[in-house]
Amino acid sequence: MTTTRASASLARSWSLLYLLVAIGWMGCARDPITGRRQLVLVSEAEEIAMGRQASADVDVSMGLYPDDALQTYVEGLGLELARRSERPELPWRFRIVDSPVVNAFALPGGYIYVTRGILAHMGSEAALVGVLGHEIGHVTARHSVEQMSKQQLAGLGVGLGGIFFPEVQQFGDVLGGSLGLLFLKFGRDAERESDRLGVRYSLTAGYDPTEMATFFAVLGRLSEGRASVPSWASTHPDPQDREQAILEQLRVERGALTDLEVGEEGYLSRLDGLVFGENPREGFMRDQRFIHPELRFQLDYPEGWRVQNTQTVVYAAPPDGGAALQLTLARAPEGTSPEAHARDFFRKNRLEFGTGEQLRVGPFTAYRAPFRARTQNAEIYGQAGFIADGELLYELIGLTRANAIRGYTPIFNAVIESFDRVTDERDLEVQPSRLKLYTVPRSMTLANALEQAGMTEDDRDTLSIVNNLRLNETVAAGKRIKILERSP
Ligand SMILES: [Zn+2]
């Protein structure tokens, strides 16, 4: 979680989508590019409105990567491609989100995102152009709006009844995967179509699509034998097949084009200093302790619970998903008592609350109280703690079902009571890892080059993938490779 971003929920986008369906018209339009008949629920103006709203949620909930030069660079490349696409008039927008995950996604209306994680894993401007072209393809072929429309229908059928107030919705998110609405999953055909469009846009702009094919090899390696499959790979099946398909298309469409741009050197220079992996300044876990060095607090979660830190909320849940505990940050005028804030919170969220108590946790004043909420399908019970630190007010909301609240109340209370100032001063100094460039002094294997650059054994496999080189592969003298600058 970060200090600067206000607590936001996705409730707005849900109500917007609901409205769009209510006023929308059912129609079948022929796509301008593919000629395929599609189920289209929304007009272009509605498509843009839908994308703009969802993008505002992405900006807040995921956060943009704070590097203006890099943002401008990606935006410039994207606009150049979009201008040559079949829908140049859309309000195209290209942004880097501050996430270590390897991902890129397109929202309806031309709102395209890449993560800093995907940038770190690419080796050339042409690869980036290929990925941006692919995402542009999802918009020009209207996959994004089509898919969002389908999800609206699905959502209305099953999910919407449960969304009563934001906390319950987030409760659903932590169990069902957060931001599911925004990460639209496309079918295999849609992916292939976007690949073809990506290749075409790359060629039109003079870039070499071979680099896009190469990037699929990186995605393939990322998903090999790893617990966490990168999203872009998991939603985009068969990296190897797609690599081949791209090369095949290139053979056919390249024609007389020569001197296609790769842009390796310039691209690598731009990655120098890029934050890599999770940024611990925004909070990190050590065993079951969550530590936030910027906000200078820590708290302890129960053994075995999984904790997910996002820009606005820290979610936690036991392995069986039978409860959820979320931590959010609110601002209140200095001197607002935790009790006054609690009453306000309960009223705003239309929660019935019981008798509470004031307490001290660490050096802070706090208030806690039980509450319950009735949704259409179930009764949710909870225990909430509110902790004041100057004008900051932390809200710790534990939720579970009626028959489990007795067992969970002491567990929620223990987490609330563990809230404290950071106890180990060294935790306040933690810094993120950053990508650095290392010029290989003479021809040697990647393994040797990484050793020469002072990289540890632990980082070798990661850097092998990030550089798209095998450890025993020879690196030529003078070539620059990506290495890591670790926090001391
Ligand atoms: Zn895709």
Q: State the distance from the centre of ligand 1 to the C-alpha of 145, rounded, in angstroms.
A: 13
Going from the C-alpha of 366 to that of each of 138, 354, 389, 422, the distances in angstroms are 49, 16, 9, 17
pLDDT, tens only, 103-114: 888 888 999 999
**What's the confidence (pLDDT) of residue 221?**
82
In-domain check, residue 85:
yes
**Distance from the alpha carbon of residue 104 to the mean position of ligand 1, in angstroms:** 8
**Within a domain: 6:** no
Asked whether residue 437 falls in the same domain as residue 303, the answer is: no
Helix (H, G, I), strand (E, B) or coil at 211: helix
Which percentage of the chain shows pLDDT scores above 90? Answer: 53
**How many A from CA of 135 to the centre of ligand 1?**
6
Question: Distance (Å, rounded) from C-alpha 149 to C-alpha 144?
Answer: 8
d(Cα 447, Cα 460) in Å, to the nearest integer?
A: 7
Residues 118 and 189 in one domain: yes
Task: Tell me, yes or no, whether 20 and 77 share the same domain.
Answer: yes
Domain containing 410: what range? 280-428
CA 419 to centroid of ligand 1, rounded, Å: 42
Gap from CA of 134 to ligand 1 centroid (Å): 6
Residue finishing a domain among 239, 259, 276: 276
Q: Which of 465, 476, 484, 477 is nearest to 123 (CA)?
A: 465
Same structural domain, 141 and 59: yes
Report how far ligand 1's centroid is from the alpha carbon of 173 (Å). 23
Q: Exposed, middle or buried by CB within 10 Å (0-12, 13-18, 19+), for 172?
A: middle
Look at residues 398, 428, 458 and tell me which one is the last residue of a structural domain. Answer: 428
Going from the Cα of 233 to the center of ligand 1, the distance in angstroms, rounded, reads: 9
- In SS3 terms, 245-310 reads as HHHHHHHHHCCCCCCCECCHHHHHHHHCCCEECCCHHHCEEECCEEEECCCCEEEECCCCCEEEEC
Domain limit, last residue, from 251, 276, 301: 276
Nearest to 226 by CA among 433, 464, 446, 431: 464
Residue 12 pLDDT more than 50? no
Residue 366 near residue 388 (C-beta atoms within 8 A): yes
Q: What is the CATH number of the domain that holds 402?
A: 3.40.1000.10
233 and 216 in a common domain: yes
Residue 338 lies in a domain: yes
Residues with CB under 5 A from ligand 1 (ion): 194
Q: Is residue 4 part of a domain?
A: no
Q: How many domains is the chain partitioned into structurally?
A: 3
Residue 222, in any domain of the structure: yes
CA of 236 to the centre of ligand 1 (A): 6
Q: Answer yes or no: do 205 and 244 share one domain.
A: yes
Distance from Cα 352 to the centre of ligand 1, integer Å? 44
CA distances 189 to 42, 183, 251, Å, are 22, 17, 21
* pLDDT, tens digit, 9 for 90 and up, residues 337-387: 999 999 999 998 888 999 999 999 999 999 999 999 877 677 889 999 999
Pair (135, 176) in one structural domain: yes
113 located within any domain: yes
DSSP classification of residue 338: H
HSE value, Cβ hemisphere, 13 Å, CA-based, for 19 = 11
Ligand 1 center–CA 194 separation, angstroms: 6
pLDDT digits (tens, 9 = 90+) for 169-219: 333 333 333 333 334 567 778 888 989 999 999 999 999 999 999 998 888
DSSP annotation string for 402-439:
GGGHHHHHHHHHHHHHH-EE-S-GGGGG---EEEEEEE
Mean pLDDT value across residues 408-429: 96
Q: Which residues contact 410 (CB under 8 A, 6 or more apart)?
A: none
Quote the ligand 1 centre to 144 CA distance (angstroms). 10
Q: What is the spatial distance between Cα 192 and Cα 242, in angstroms, rounded to a whole number?
A: 7
Q: Are residues 127 and 264 in the same domain?
A: yes
Centroid of ligand 1 to alpha carbon of 16 (angstroms): 24
Q: What is the mean pLDDT of the chain?
A: 81
β-pairing, 323-331 vs 352-353, is unpaired
Cα gap 327→421, rounded to integer Å: 16
Distance 336 CA to ligand 1 centre (A): 48
Position 488 confidence tier, pLDDT thresholds 50, 70, 90: low
Q: What confidence category does residue 435 fall into, taking pLDDT thresholds of 50, 70 and 90?
A: very high
CA of 478 to the centre of ligand 1 (A): 35
Burial class (CB in 10 A: 0-12, 13-18, 19+), 294: middle
Q: And the tokens for 69?
A: 């030069």
CA of 139 to the centre of ligand 1 (A): 10
Spatial neighbors of 401 by CB under 8 A, at least 6 apart, are 322, 378, 379, 380, 381
CB within 8 A of 454, min separation 6: which ones? 483
What's the full length of the chain, in residues?
488
Cα separation, 287 vs 252, in Å, equals 54
Burial of 416 from C-beta contacts in 10 A (0-12 / 13-18 / 19+): buried
User: CA of 429: how far to CAs of 3, 281, 307, 374, 425, in Å?
Assistant: 17, 9, 22, 44, 7
Check pLDDT > 60 for residue 22: no
pLDDT at position 33 is 53
pLDDT band at residue 237 using 50, 70 and 90 as cut-offs: low
Find the 241 Cα to ligand 1 centroid distance in Å: 14
How many whole angstroms from 214 Cα to the centroid of ligand 1? Answer: 16
**C-alpha of residue 471 to centroid of ligand 1, in Å:** 30
- In terms of domains, do 327 and 446 share one? no
Domain check: are 192 and 333 in the same one? no
**And the tokens for 468?**
């798209």
Alpha-carbon span 311 to 328, nearest angstrom = 10
Q: 177 is written with which tokens?
A: 């995967």
Going from the Cα of 227 to the center of ligand 1, the distance in angstroms, rounded, reads: 21
**228 is a domain residue:** yes
What per-residue confidence (pLDDT) applies to 152? 53
In this structure, the answer to whether residues 108 and 183 fall within a common structural domain is yes
Indicate the residue type of 355.
Answer: T
> Do 314 and 450 sit in the same domain of this protein?
no
User: Is 60 a domain residue?
Assistant: yes
Q: How far is the CA of 89 from the centre of ligand 1 (A)?
A: 21
